[in-house]
A and B are shown apart, each in its own frame.
Chain A
Amino acid sequence: MRILKTTYEWLEHRLQLEAPIKDAALHPVPRNTASWWYVFGSAAFTLLILQVVTGILLAIVYVPSAGQAWSSLNVLNQQLDLGWFLRAIHGWGSNFMVAVVLVHMAQVFLFGSYKYPRELTWIVGVFLLLMTLGMAFTGQVLRFDQDAYWGLGIGASITSRIPFVGGSLVHLLLGGPIIAGATLSRFFALHVFVIPGMLLAFVGVHVWMVLKLGINEWPMPGRLVERSAYLQEYKNLTHKNGIPFVPGALWKDVIFAGGILAAVVVCALAFGPFGPSGQPDPTIVQTVPKPDFFFLWIYAALAYLPPAMETPCILIAPILGIGILIALPFYAAEGEKSWHRRPVAILALSTVAVSWGTLTHLASSTPWSPHMEAWSSDPVPPQYLRTASPLARQGAAVFQSKQCRNCHSLGGHGGDRGPALDAIASRMTEDQMIRQVLQGGGNMPAYGKNLSPAETTALVSFLKTLHPAGERPATDASQQEAHRFEKPSTLEAQR
């Protein structure tokens, strides 16, 4: 023990860290901020450390070369002892980190923590969010598989839409004319050196400001922030009703961070690593690329934007979004912090959350994409054929072989790009169906050139049988009218 003590004293005499660490640890924080709502920042930091450590462990095996990255990932997954586990931890750690950073941000927003004097802490936090997302995207690229390859293609296509400099920016993004070795190398540099370096530096500044300015007090309705009085009020609060940060608040941080780490381990064990999917061979076009979870909402948004709005939206929306986040603490530096009296803030946050959730959910089923294999793999429900005429059965075969099924479902199977056709005959008349099939429209290709008259007749004959039992098929009301007027005349003629 004596040796430990003398060693400590020898080190402390030279490092002189005891005083600043004590100051930081024992600084008083408002009593009610020692709450479970205040644990997300430290959890995000813990996950960052986890990512750095597991990242280094993966880097000692991973080969950042387009020719070998994919094989090295498979070696990690299958041949190295527990390589799969480290990949799983790094992958799940990444998902948890993005999630915890987003929750942290939502909490900070709801508690009005971005107000005076913590504006800069918020702005640095916005950049930390962007860097975290940057890490998630570049990490997806390093998992150099088909999804990574075509994800880069999407990134390049978006970049190419920037006016004037788009082409040059694509070259800089890819490191050359196409996605290849140079592309992976530069994304490796970004993921391993550039972004983590900036991330750690920004985290340092972020935490420094939290220590210097103090943890945001629990917002009370009616207690308004005023620049002239706030610092004194906060000082009174922490001195009259404060507790030392250690252990008063820290114990909850530590327990929550431990819980998050445990959750990462459980997910890694239960679900395993992410990919790699198919090899990054661009000549294999039989692929359905999809981004990672936290970018699914963008994938969905890009499917739903009308073509004319797409480029402006892609280029302006991110700038606008980031601009709003940065402008927020300047726009609302003073005033009410409590969510009880900030209905617009609640509305904004719930709108963002619901939109994000909806788009992510939609992207998990991709109703806008044709199901490439539906035409050859999804059977026509037998009840639709049981009483069908030979012509209608032939039509069902046309329906499958012409890939109609890729976009239209029957009996719940098939694509969702176009409407399900189980009850099409109760919505459209024969003439309307023929017109729709031959001329297309409403986002459906025209099949006029690719269907013979016989095929069209058979197809429509099949479609005409698709209506719920006991429900009459659609009829052309005008034709009925025409018949009604015809009848008297024919009667007259008979007279």
Chain B
Amino acid sequence: MSTEIITPHVQAEAEQGDTVSRRWFLLKLGFLFNGVVGAVMAVPVLRYLLSPAKRDDAYKAWVALGNVESFPVGETRLATYVNPFRRPWDGETAGVACYVRRTAQDQFQVFAVNCAHLGCPVRWFPQSQLFMCPCHGGAYYADGSRASGPPERGLFTYEYKIAGGELRIDAGQMPTLSNTAKLVTIDGVKGNPPCAS
């Protein structure tokens, strides 16, 4: 009984003398053990959390916009497609819109609806041949080049190809200044005619 009462003193003295008692050692060992297990658990947790972040190529696929003939030459029309990376519970958010401009029999421009400023949906006005953004007043010419307002660049364009009489675009992710949309060459290349006027 008396040994139990003096234990705290003994322990305190042991600490003062810089000697590690068995119990402190075991406690520290316990923390270390938990730390190791925690680190091992953190790896899959981080992997799980970071899994949506992928290279742009992983989020690109060729999607059909419909028969080429449904886009008359000289006109710009709104087209819609279903996001190729959709999930069953996406509902109507799986749909994506884009503008298809057919400049010649085999020449197209496919623009994202997202304003290059902050992503709001631009609206096409065939009378004045302008795209206008409702959010901060960005405006673009018919060829997608910047006309006025806060955008720093023209509309984002998709690469396209014609296969089996269908117009297809390489799409899948929301175009922003940080993904491949910004790397699209704006002169010479088929499918990406000059933006600047």
Contacts and interface: CB of A to CB of B under 8 A. Distances in A.
A68 interface: yes
A436 to B, nearest CB: 12
B129 interface: yes
A187 B117 CA distance: 23
A190 interface: no
A178 interface: yes
Nearest to A175: B52
Interface stretch (B3-11, B15-23, B172-180): B172-180
B130 interface: yes
Contact of B176 (A166, A281, A407): A166
A169 B177 CA distance: 12
Interface residues of B, number: 59
Nearest to A402: B128
A430 B149 CA distance: 25
B97 A283 contact: yes
Given A153-B118, A160-B176, A302-B136, A281 B92 contact: yes
A467 interface: no
* Residue from the set A149, A150, A157, A307 with the largest chain B CB neighbour count within 10 Å: A157
Given A444-B148, A445-B147, A447-B128, A161 B114 contact: no
A303 B114 contact: no
Contacts of A178: 83, 85, 93, 96, 172-174
B196 interface: no
* Residue from the set B80, B113, B123, B134 with the largest chain A CB neighbour count within 10 Å: B134
A156 B95 contact: no
Interface in A146-201: 149-150, 153-154, 156-162, 166-172, 174-183
Interface stretch (A266-274, A286-294, A388-396): A286-294
A443 to B, nearest CB: 5
* Residue from the set B50, B90, B197 with the largest chain A CB neighbour count within 10 Å: B90
A283 B121 CA distance: 9
Interface SS of chain A: helix, strand, loop or mixed? Answer: loop
Contact of A181 (B89, B148, B179): B89
Contacts of B86: 180
Contact of A150 (B59, B96, B121, B130): B121
Interface SS of chain B: helix, strand, loop or mixed? Answer: loop
A178 B83 CA distance: 8
B128 A450 contact: yes
A242 to B, nearest CB: 39
Nearest to B81: A283
Interface in B77-133: 78, 80, 83, 85-87, 89-97, 113-114, 117-123, 125, 127-130, 132-133
A376 B174 CA distance: 31
Contacts of B151: 307
A285 B96 CA distance: 10
A458 to B, nearest CB: 15
Interface of A: 65-68, 70, 149-150, 153-154, 156-162, 166-172, 174-183, 279-283, 285-289, 299, 302-303, 305, 307-308, 310, 368-370, 372, 375, 401-404, 406-407, 417, 440, 443-447, 449-450
12 contacts: A150-B135, A154-B119, A157-B117, A168-B53, A172-B50, A178-B85, A180-B94, A282-B95, A283-B78, A285-B122, A307-B151, A403-B127
Rank and list the top 10 A-B pairs by shortest CB-CB distance, nearest first.
Answer: A67-B91, A177-B173, A160-B176, A445-B147, A166-B178, A153-B119, A177-B59, A160-B178, A157-B119, A168-B53
Given A149-B93, A289-B135, 15 more contacts: A67-B92, A153-B118, A157-B177, A178-B83, A178-B174, A180-B90, A282-B95, A282-B113, A285-B113, A302-B136, A303-B150, A368-B137, A403-B127, A446-B147, A446-B197
